[in-house]
Amino acid sequence: MKVKTILTLIAAAFASIGSAQTNTFPSSGNVGIGTISPNATFEVLGNGSAGTPAAIVNNTWSAYSNEAEDNRPFLIRRSTSNNEQLAAYVQDQGLFFNYKNDETNSSIHFRLRNLDIEGSDGSFASDRTVLRLHSGQYGSSATIDGFLGVGTSTPAVPLDVFGEVNLTAGAQNRIKLANSKSDTTNANSPKLSFFAQSSGSSITGPSIQKINTGTYGRGDLVIFQHNLADYTSEQEVMRIHYSGNVGIGTSNPTHKLSVSGTIRSKEVIVETGWSDFVFEDGYDLRSLNEVEDHIDEHGHLPDVPSAKIVESEGLSVGEAQKIMMQKIEELTLYMIEKDKQIEELQKEVEKLKSN
């Protein structure tokens, strides 16, 4: 009875030991840590609490270090060749990946394969390289298949940046794309700025900014230039109004081109009406007495705007040319009429002389 009891206890102990066994190291075949049925040559299965790593490799490596702890990389090789391998290592500066091969070009591919488990045909939802790092004899490159987000986890375009963007061309010049922070009204409006440096002080160059002027994204496009007085503040020099009007020297253009200042040009072509109607039959040509009465009463010629109106409202170049031509043609008719009167008077004088 005692022997039977002892055998029973020994069997239970061995059974308990067997059920607790989670590693397998056979003389041949797959090796398992955390599993007694590995599915690969070497498989590690973590079964600890959350946050506990399944495996730790305490190796670092550096090709330029003489310290022993910096010369033990974690290697992934193709077969047993040292000429095709990926070395991963950790140093004080960070985590490093070093891939080498014996070809003229090398690349690292980050590939994603999404299984379409809801589909019925068993195909993959996606199977492509999303990031490719390439190095060759003509330089290095990075290729991304899809959208890249900087500062955002939901990029909507090939390059989606949430924040400011700087393009630097040496220490003296840079281009900046950002939201304006100069005032509260337009603090979130996009702005493209060109910067430079002089004597160690930053100087604001020209900039282009969308100025919010209403709802539904409506706004003006404004060009600023740095203030010559202090080289830091900005002053508006040109504005494209949301209506299509352009203003130079004015922030409220009321015409297709509004200029507050002097315009110098070699030639201006104005397309407008002309004044040949003066020579048409039925044109009501005022008598010189009527013209004189109008001048006495109003202080300017008929059909010509007064100085007060021109000063307050301005004068269209095309309209001014039209009015001047009208008056020139009227003067021509007056001269023709007077010439006829002079000829009649000369005839009367000749008759008197002959008598």
Burial 82-112 (b: 16+ CB within 10 A, else e): eebbbbbbbeeeeeeeeeeeeeeeebeeeee
* Averages of pLDDT over each 10 residues, the chain, 355 residues: 44 44 82 87 78 70 58 74 79 76 85 66 69 88 90 91 81 73 60 68 73 78 78 82 93 92 89 89 93 94 93 88 93 94 92 85
Query: Could you tell me the two tokens for 44?
Result: 């590690």
φ and ψ at residue 141, rounded to 5 degrees: -155, 160
Return the pLDDT at 256: 93
- Residue 224's Cβ-count burial label (10 Å; 0-12, 13-18, 19+) is buried
Read off the pTM. Answer: 0.58
Q: Which of 164, 144, 145, 161 is nearest to 153 (CA)?
A: 161
At residue 299, φ and ψ (nearest 5 deg) are 85, 15
What pLDDT is recorded for position 100? 82
For the chain, what are the domain ranges? 1-56, 103-162, 276-354
How many angstroms separate the CA atoms of 244 and 257, rounded?
9
Please list, in sequence order, all residues whose beta carbon lies within 8 angstroms of the beta carbon of residue 206, skipping any fewer than 6 positions away: 193, 194, 223, 224, 225, 226
Residue 120, pLDDT score = 57
What's the confidence (pLDDT) of residue 74? Answer: 77
- R_g (Cα) of the chain, nearest Å: 45
Phi, psi of 159 (to 5 degrees): -130, 110
User: What is the per-residue pLDDT for 197?
Assistant: 59
Give, as one character, the DSSP assignment of residue 276.
G
Q: What is the 3-state secondary structure (H, E, C) of 19-83?
A: HHCCCECCCCCCEEECCCCCCCCEEECCCCCCCCCCCCCCCCECCCCCCHHHECCEEEECCCCCC
Q: Residue 68: its pLDDT value, please?
A: 58
